[in-house]
Every structure is written in structure tokens, then in C-alpha cells.
Amino acid sequence: MNYDVIIIGSGPAGLTAAIYASRDNLKTLVVGGAKWGGQLMLTTQVENYPGFPEGLLGPDLMERMKKQAERFGTEVRLEDVTRVDFGKHPFTVWGNQETQGYQGGAVIVAAGADTVWLGLPNEQRLIGRGVSSCAPCDAFFFKDKKVVVVGGGDTAMEEAQTLAKFASEVTIVHRRDSFRASKIMQDRALSLPNVKVYWNSAVIDVLGENHVTGVKLRRTVGEVGEVRELAIDGVFVAIGHSPNTKIFEGQLELDEKGYVKKFQGNQGDRGDQGKSGFQTMTSVAGVFVAGDVHDYHFRQAITAAGFGCMAAMETSRWLTEKS
């Protein structure tokens, strides 16, 4: 099956790219994954996406994006990509429901990144009910409440700072006696009067039936194994993200964290992408990237959508210049 552009991923980046590509009269396929929609499918109320003053549920926002893309002719297949071949043109993408593979003149990689969770007994059950991985998304819901941030890197310090603007008390729980975060980020977080730290402690479970009511903590040094409960209203997991790039190993250049690298400007040895100044081109000419699969700083629905728009517009231009 031949397409002008194949989009791998169906979160805000992938579906926005699909809307722009299909409206530009490109034959567009989205291979969206069996679990489609990205991180917003795990989000309850979304109040920071423009155009929805009352807010809406994450899955509802993604369903609207999907229907909008389909309205303009995008074909959406909810199957997982099993392998790709970017070594020759046209590119080939295999899903687990299509043995022959899909061929495209260009590809947009918008596979996203998954939160690294703690793997606790009640953690997944309470996502969106007090368990979160995004303070900029959810901090507003914890005004004058007590929350825990789990982690010790820069992300955890950023989460704590954001939450401190709303929560009455922010407790950073870290399993060691020192943070991995940069000194400046530590200083910023720990200088806030409503931020404190539980050192040498690990969260071993989340408490609550319909919403978070507390956490269980276990000492990692000293009285090792000692368990206590802490009454709180929310848990923010900030131990990292894992980009969905396993299938692109050996096909695209990835950075040391496994995120897709972009190549823009002065890359003449990589074909025509550097000469044309594309901003979302990968190491392979004709393969573009959008969203959390390359962006590990912002990780917001609106920024992912913006990258999807950019990637689709550049894909269209590249296809026009190539023809």
C-alpha cells in the first residue's frame, strides 16, 4: 500500500501532523498503535489546551483530533509498528496487521515517550485520581493540598517548583541522601518554604480507593525496612521518561538518552535536508520527527501538536521539492 506520508504515532503530534498533511492533499496514513492517543489517554481533566475554556477529558480531546484527521481523509490504523526500513526509498513501515508493509514517500516519527512509573500495586489504578507525571498539567488541581514528588533529578526539582505555587506542602521523596539534580535546580526547589525532603526513603505503595489519600514509605538506610504512612493528596512521579524508539535503532540516529536526533542546517553530507534548512528532519532525508519522541524538555500536548504541524508542513515541502 502506497502513501505520500506515513505517520507513526497517534498522540497530539501525530494527529496534528495528519490533519495538516491530509488537508494539503497528501495521501496520509497514521499507524497509531493498539493503545492509541498517547499520554493524554491516561489524563482525566485537561485544562491547559487552548480552545476549551471548561476543560475536557484527555481521551475526548484525542478522539476529537482523530475524527478531525479522518474528516480530511487520513487513514488511521490502530496497530503497532513492528519494524521499519528507512534504508531505501520509498520507505516501508510494517504493522502487526499488515505483512506486506506500508510504503510512503515520507515518514513522520511521532511515537512519543512513556513515563517511567514506579511499578507499585495501586499506582496505575490511581493515575488521574491523584497520581500524575506532569506538574504543569495537573498542579492546579492540588491547590492548598499536600503532595509528594518522587525523584532526585532536574525533572523532580522542576515538578516541585511548579507544585509549590499551588500546594500547601510539597515533599520530595528520594531513595538516596543526595540529589542527581544540578546544584542550581536543587537550590531553587529547596529554597521554597513549602518544600521539604524525605531522604533515604522509597515510596512502596500508593494508598486510596477512589483517589490518593497517602503513600507508604520504606527507609533505604539506617532502620532499613522500616515502613510508615504519609497522608497526602497527590503523587507526582518524576523518575524519567522512555522514548518509544526501539524499532528505530539502526535506522535513525538517536541521542544518548534514546531520543531521535534532529539534523538541521549545514548537513550537506546527509543529502538535501541540510541545504534546505528543514527543522524537523532526522538523520535520514525524508524522515521527519515530531513530539515527545525527540522533545524531552516541554512534553506538553500543545508543544507536541506544534511540532506535528511543523513536521507536516516540512514534509509537504520536501515532497514538492523532491518531485
- For 53, phi then psi, to 5°, come to -60, -30
What is the phi/psi pair of residue 290, to 5°? -150, 140
Q: CA–CA separation, 256 vs 236, rounded Å?
A: 25
| 229 closest CA partner among 207, 196, 200 | 207
Radius of gyration for the alpha carbons in the chain, expressed in angstroms and rounded: 21
Give phi and psi for 208, each to the nearest 5. 135, 150
What ranges in the chain are assigned the alpha helix state H? 12-23, 58-71, 135-138, 154-164, 183-190, 273-276, 301-322
**249: number of Cβ within 10 Å:** 9
CB-facing half-sphere around the CA of 270: CA atoms within 13 A: 21
Could you list the active site residues?
134, 137-138
